A and B are shown apart, each in its own frame.
Chain A
Amino acid sequence: MKKILVIDDERPLTELLQHMLEGNGFRVEVAHNGLEGLGKLKNFQPDLIVLDVSMPQMDGWQFLRTLRASPVTKGIKVIMCTEKNLIKEIELADELGAQAYILKPFDTERVLRKIEEIL
């Protein structure tokens, strides 16, 4: 069973994603900011992380940098979610080794398709 970590500060959205992804046969863990996400990673090794960009305490970019800096977590695939439609952000996501970049609000089916595509 593939494991997914969803990190987003919008709780209803994380719950929705968790519900939907679990319904589609994934094991899902949820965190509400980057720091919490890093904590989760200690005893949960996901195959993919759905990562929001703007979050309190530690934002998506910081989280992604930390993730890529450690050899243990370097290989985890990442989908970035953001509400900002900026070329700079897409380029940054690419540079930091995110596999995909999804604009919010997204529809659930598209997220699901993207995830299945990447895994």
Chain B
Amino acid sequence: MKLPRMSIRYKIISLFVLAVALPVLLISIILISISRRSIRDSIFIQQQETVARVADRINSQLDRHKQLLSIYRDIGQLPGKQQVAAAREILGQSDALSEISLLDASGREQWKYDRTGPGKELIDRSRRGEYKFALSGRSYISSVYLSAQRSPYIILSVPLQGRSGALVAKLNLSQMWQWISEIKVGETGQAFVVDQKGNLIAHPEPERVWAHSNFSDLPVVRDFIERRQPSAERWSEYRDERGYKVVALYQYLPKLNWAVVTQIPAKEVYAPIRKMHENIIFWTIFFTGAFLYIGYQFVQRITNPLSLLKSGAEQISQGKLDIKLDIHTGDEIEDLAKNFEKMATALKELETLREDLIRMIIHDLKSPLSGIMGSLDYLESGMLGDITDDQKKIISLAKKSSESLLVMIQNLLDVAKMEEGKLELRKEKMDISAVIRERKYQFDTLVKNEGKTLSVDVEAGLPPIEAEQHLIERILNNLLTNAVNHTSTGGAITIGARHLGRFLEVRVADNGVGIPPEYRDKIFEKFVQVERKQAHLRTGAGLGLTFCKMVVETHGGHIRVESELNKGSAFIFTLPL
């Protein structure tokens, strides 16, 4: 499978994200769910303890009062005056007791005392629970009643010794309310007590009890009523009467058939969980961020030298060989960079060697050529005496060969110079039509001798161009030489020029053998491989077309060839005006 192209930087970063960020995320999710559960459990236990504590306290208070009454179970056997004293004693024992009465064996009140003194209206309690329980020898706890002052109370009773009646006490629940309101359930939670029907018995806000509120609609109370478990197995979550989400638990008080309920705003219960979430999220982000930052730095450490290497390689490919790579990573990349520099240095040495070689070849070829050409000139000039026409002809043959050798050397030199970017153009205003006419004049004899024709087709009034004249002349010489070489007897060569937009277009065409399509671009390359039967494509001037292409392009123009096999070729180049 082929991967889409992606820089190493992104590959490593993605790897980092996969290797670090994902596990961290996964761990934090697991952590959140585990700790959420354990925090919930611990809050549940805590709340359960609170509710149990309240229940204990209520139980113990009830027990205390029952025991208090039990101590006086023999009150019926005391003489009348001592009974009154005992009743006062009982009232003195607990602020919560508001009334003490003694029932006789028939269930009628014998006497009663409240905090103001003896009660007047003695009533018959024989149908009441306090009496009925006493008859069977059991103590009794009543439901909640409201007094005329709208304060809630319950009736406690213990059977008298010998089952001769009961000692009955009114236990004011305001005290219990006090305990309940004192119980701190979390920061803002509250506890209250309901009976088995859901009636509110105690609440930090007494008005609610006075109003005979029934809480059986609350899920937690309903749970208690329906299931009557010793304690809630799980949290009830619901919205309270003010619309806040709350979490509630109950604890059953079996002696009373009541339940203590604690109700805490969900916000408070979940605060530790939320805080933990925030913590985990914060640390997850922090660690992921830190890891990614470290990872990014790490990636930079790898990729920065890599991009340095890359730009170094680009520079080398552009021929800039004296590169110095500033890479000190102390690892394989540094070694690579060192080798890279070594390679560049070696290449540079090689390049210098090549340049030296070219310079040497040019010098060593040109100097002897100077000797040959000078000697031929000298002979031809007649300064050494008259020469015959035959001799002149031979001399001119030798001169022609020397000249083509010179052109080749010159092309080689210029191509080398242009490759090094050292060719400085000496541009001047030049008239292309004049140059073309001059070429015709120069080539006419040669063309005629070979039985070919050379015609000129130059548009009238061509503007002058800025170019280095002798280079343009050499382009034309190269192209014309090629044309002459590639046409057979009877060949027709045309050289034309015309105005084309912001360019001048020069065209050298022949009706020769043409160039096969596969060679039409290659012929401009430096050393083109040509099959033997196409050997004629390798022009006599060697680097002639390479030279032409380079000169034209250095001038800002373009060269191309149009050709049809056995019909001819046309070399067309443009030069900017």
B242 within 8 A of A: no
Distance from A60 Cβ to chain B, minimum over Cβ atoms (Å): 12
**Bound complex: CA A109 to CA B424 (Å):** 29
Q: Indicate with 1 or 0, residue by residue over B362-396, a CB within 8 angstroms of chain A CB atoms.
A: 11001111111111011001011000000000000
B426 within 8 A of A: yes
Q: Given contacts A13-B371, A87-B426, are A104 and B378 in contact (CB under 8 A)?
A: no
Which chain A residues numbered 43 to 86 have a C-beta less than 8 Å away from chain B? Answer: 52, 54, 83, 86
Q: Which residues of B contact A39 (CB under 8 A)?
A: none
* Interface bracket on A: 20 to 34
Q: Given contacts A23-B383, A23-B384, are A87 and B424 in contact (CB under 8 A)?
A: yes
- Tell me if B384 and A13 are in contact (CB < 8 A): no
A29 within 8 A of B: no
- Tell me if A12 and B383 are in contact (CB < 8 A): no
Q: Given contacts A20-B383, A87-B424, are A13 and B378 in contact (CB under 8 A)?
A: no
Q: Given contacts A13-B367, A13-B374, are A105 and B383 in contact (CB under 8 A)?
A: no
- Tell me if A83 and B375 are in contact (CB < 8 A): no
Q: Given contacts A23-B383, A83-B362, are A16 and B378 in contact (CB under 8 A)?
A: yes
Closest to A109 in B: B381
Q: Which residues of B contact A104 (CB under 8 A)?
A: 366-367, 369-370
- Tell me if A105 and B370 are in contact (CB < 8 A): yes
Q: Which residues of A contact B378 (CB under 8 A)?
A: 16, 19-20, 108
A17 within 8 A of B: yes
Q: Indicate with 1 or 0, residue by residue over A88-101, a CB within 8 angstroms of chain B CB atoms.
A: 00000000000000
- Tell me if A12 and B375 are in contact (CB < 8 A): yes
Q: Which residues of B contact A109 (CB under 8 A)?
A: 377, 381
**Bound complex: CA A9 to CA B369 (Å):** 13
**Bound complex: CA A17 to CA B373 (Å):** 12
Q: Which residues of A contact B383 (CB under 8 A)?
A: 20, 23-24, 108
Closest to B426 in A: A87
- Tell me if B362 and A106 are in contact (CB < 8 A): no
Indicate which residue in A16, A24, A83, A87 contacts B366 across the interface (CB closer than 8 Å).
A83
- Tell me if B363 and A107 are in contact (CB < 8 A): no
A10 within 8 A of B: yes
**Bound complex: CA A87 to CA B424 (Å):** 8
Distance from A21 Cβ to chain B, minimum over Cβ atoms (Å): 11
Q: Which residues of A contact B362 (CB under 8 A)?
A: 83
Q: Which residues of B contact A8 (CB under 8 A)?
A: 367
**Bound complex: CA A108 to CA B374 (Å):** 5
**Bound complex: CA A55 to CA B372 (Å):** 19
**Bound complex: CA A13 to CA B373 (Å):** 9
Distance from A104 Cβ to chain B, minimum over Cβ atoms (Å): 5
- Tell me if A108 and B377 are in contact (CB < 8 A): yes
- Tell me if A83 and B374 are in contact (CB < 8 A): no
- Tell me if B370 and A54 are in contact (CB < 8 A): no
B292 within 8 A of A: no
B256 within 8 A of A: no
Indicate which residue in B367, B372, B377 contacts A83 across the interface (CB closer than 8 Å).
B367
Which chain B residues numbered 417 to 445 have a C-beta less than 8 Å away from chain A? Answer: 424, 426
- Tell me if B424 and A106 are in contact (CB < 8 A): no
- Tell me if A16 and B367 are in contact (CB < 8 A): no
- Tell me if A106 and B374 are in contact (CB < 8 A): yes
Which chain A residues numbered 1 to 32 have a C-beta less than 8 Å away from chain B? Answer: 8-10, 12-13, 16-17, 19-20, 23-24
Q: Which residues of A contact B426 (CB under 8 A)?
A: 87
Q: Which residues of A contact B384 (CB under 8 A)?
A: 23
- Tell me if A10 and B381 are in contact (CB < 8 A): no
Residue from the set B366, B370, B402 with the largest chain A CB neighbour count within 10 Å:
B370
- Tell me if B370 and A106 are in contact (CB < 8 A): yes
Closest to A9 in B: B367
Distance from B220 Cβ to chain A, minimum over Cβ atoms (Å): 102
Distance from A1 Cβ to chain B, minimum over Cβ atoms (Å): 18
B406 within 8 A of A: yes
Listed by A's residue number, 25 A-B pairs whose Cβ atoms lie within 8 Å are A10-B367, A10-B368, A10-B370, A10-B371, A12-B368, A12-B372, A12-B375, A13-B370, A13-B374, A16-B374, A17-B374, A23-B384, A54-B363, A83-B362, A83-B366, A83-B367, A86-B424, A104-B369, A105-B369, A105-B402, A105-B406, A106-B374, A108-B374, A108-B383, A109-B377
Give residues in B with beta carbon < 8 Å to A.
362-363, 366-375, 377-378, 381, 383-384, 402, 406, 424, 426
